[in-house]
Structure 1
């Protein structure tokens, strides 16, 4: 499932916190692989800055 499809399924939007996204992401997907270019573009469309996207990636790397 793509990140975009996952966000729509769980109604994640730009008001969701980075922590909420990563916690929900790991509980649902078990383990996220790295974000694709398309995933990053989608997060930008939702209003996430490159810095916030980097934070999400750092948390994903720790898991």
Structure 2
């Protein structure tokens, strides 16, 4: 979860997407998915490790 939070924090600092992905060591599609989850569900979205394509779980 620390990597996911770091993605969100770097994004909040207006860092470039490719810079964030390289900095945290993830592929751009993965980073985009976690940012979308955070947008949709705040911290709860980051904690949910289920299939990224399915959106937030109902838990």
Q: TM-score range by the shorter chain?
A: 0.3 to 0.5
TM-score normalised to the size of structure 1? 0.37
TM-score normalised to the size of structure 2? 0.38
Q: Larger relative CO (CA 8 A, sep 6+): 1 or 2?
A: 1
